[in-house]
Chains A and B, each alone.
Chain A
Amino acid sequence: MTDRTEDSGNIQVVLEGAGRKIVVFACTWCALIGADGAGKKRISLPATFRVIPVECISRVEADAVIRAFTSGIDGVAVMGCHLGGCRHNGANLRSARKLELLKPLLDTVGIDSRRLFTSYGTAHEYHQFAQAIESFCSQIGEMPPVSAWSRSFVRAMSARGENE
């Protein structure tokens, strides 16, 4: 685990992506425990992510993910248990299927499905959580802000205005 305060190379990435906003839906049975563990170990992480705890990732509606992107959130992570290890009788498997189905739609319109990070059972442990967050945050940091989408939208709008 690299400590960001010591690794100037990494800090660069953090700063580059500093304006980005990332929301993490974390299942209370796994990823949230991983997050708690990362805290206890005081692992230094980029400060761009905000956690919303959920009982199970099956609570996460695709509409909310869409809404997050359209209101300017650059990355959404949905972190739940192993598929097959769900406390709620496989609820997370169905949910996973649904979220995976959102990805092609995000790609179709160019929002880019890499902005939606799904993890099943890969963030139970503190180091896994930390690693997942780090790589996701730096990936989002390297991508243009999601508002580029709406900006290009507005540009297209005003261009139309001019034409008329």
Chain B
Amino acid sequence: MSLREEVLTRVKALLKDRRVDGVLGLSLFEKEPVPCLFEDPFDVDALVIEPKWLLAKLAMNILKTAPQEYRLGLVCRGCDDRAVTELAKRNQLDRNRLTLLGIPCTAEQARKCLCSTPYPREIVAGERVEGMYPMNDEQAQLFLTGSMEERMKRWARELNRCIKCYGCRNVCPICVCIPCKLEDDLWVKRGHIPADMVSYHLIRAFHLSDTCVSCAGCTDTCPVNIPLMLLQVSMRETLKSQYAYEPGLDPERVSPVLTEQEKGEGTLFQEPAWIDSLRGGS
């Protein structure tokens, strides 16, 4: 049975047994993939699992507007799974109302997204492939290394193409604030294209410093091809190396920038080297 058929069977069973009221996945509409909420088992044959399509935020919105007792199934990949975890940690969706049908990504997809965990925590079918280390990617290296001046020039060239369409924010599964700081004159001067795009992008990037699930949504969406996800890489790496923390992997773990102590334990984290504050001043 192909991966798609396997998922199909699961979705049908879920709907037939009334374990969920609807399943969010993709279907083809005039040969184009579109998100679709399947509520009738007979419609499910239209379900497709390719291409990669971020559905976590849509799932969140469905749960927010649907009646309290509505339960949703979600066909999801690794990034969506992590996004769901982060959204649940931030009270944006009720994990108990959501049933995940996890599918793994292909090696090629993982490479394209620079994804280190190209599979959800649980998969219904298919094979997990190894993730990739973003810094091993040539293009990523180009953007993340070099002298300060080179970096500055490179990113200036990139960011100056931005047309401030807010696409990167809108697609990001973590960005859910209304109002958003990026629309506030205090933080990002309005009517200033392009001069204040640095504020826009640094503030946006930092807001996702400990929540970005590296779904590559921002990069994929950008109409002018700015490799936005690369802004997150160094921060994600820092969290990983200093606190062994990766957003979206552990529903129980609070971000290390929000807590001082490990949950339940009296012990401190193993602190990174900068903690030795006596070094700071001299």
Contact = CB atoms under 8 A, between A and B. Distances in A.
Interface of A: 62-63, 66-67, 69-70, 82-83, 90, 93-94, 96-98, 100-102, 104-112, 118-123, 128, 131-132, 148-150, 152-157, 160
A104 B238 contact: yes
Contact of B258 (A94, A105, A148): A94
B255 to A, nearest CB: 9
Given A83-B275, A153-B159, A98 B234 contact: no
B166 interface: no
Contacts of A106: 202
Interface residues of B, number: 54
Given A105-B206, A105-B231, A132-B280, 18 more contacts: A67-B203, A70-B199, A82-B277, A101-B206, A104-B238, A106-B202, A108-B231, A108-B233, A109-B202, A110-B150, A118-B274, A121-B280, A149-B198, A150-B195, A153-B160, A153-B198, A156-B153, A157-B194
A105 B181 contact: no
B220 interface: no
A120 B161 CA distance: 39
Contact of A157 (B149, B151, B160, B278): B160
B280 A118 contact: yes
A154 B271 CA distance: 41
Nearest to A103: B238
Contacts, number: 135
A94 B260 contact: yes
B119 to A, nearest CB: 27
27 contacts: A63-B207, A66-B199, A67-B187, A67-B203, A69-B202, A83-B275, A94-B260, A101-B206, A105-B234, A105-B235, A108-B143, A108-B231, A108-B233, A109-B155, A110-B150, A111-B152, A121-B278, A122-B281, A128-B281, A131-B281, A132-B280, A149-B152, A152-B152, A152-B153, A153-B160, A153-B195, A156-B153
Contact of A119 (B143, B235, B281): B281
Given A63-B187, A152-B156, A131 B282 contact: yes
B50 interface: no
Looking at chain A's contact residues, is the secondary structure mostly helix, strand, loop, or mixed?
helix
A82 B230 CA distance: 33
Contacts of B237: 104
Given A101-B235, A102-B206, A105-B209, A110 B155 contact: yes
Name, among A97, A98, A131, A154, the residue most crowded by chain B CB atoms within 10 Å (CB to CB).
A97
Contacts of B203: 63, 66-67
Interface of B: 143-144, 148-157, 159-161, 181, 186-187, 194-199, 201-203, 205-207, 209-210, 230-231, 233-235, 237-239, 256-260, 271-272, 274-275, 277-278, 280-282
B103 to A, nearest CB: 32
A128 B280 CA distance: 11
Contact of B209 (A101, A110, A119, A153): A101
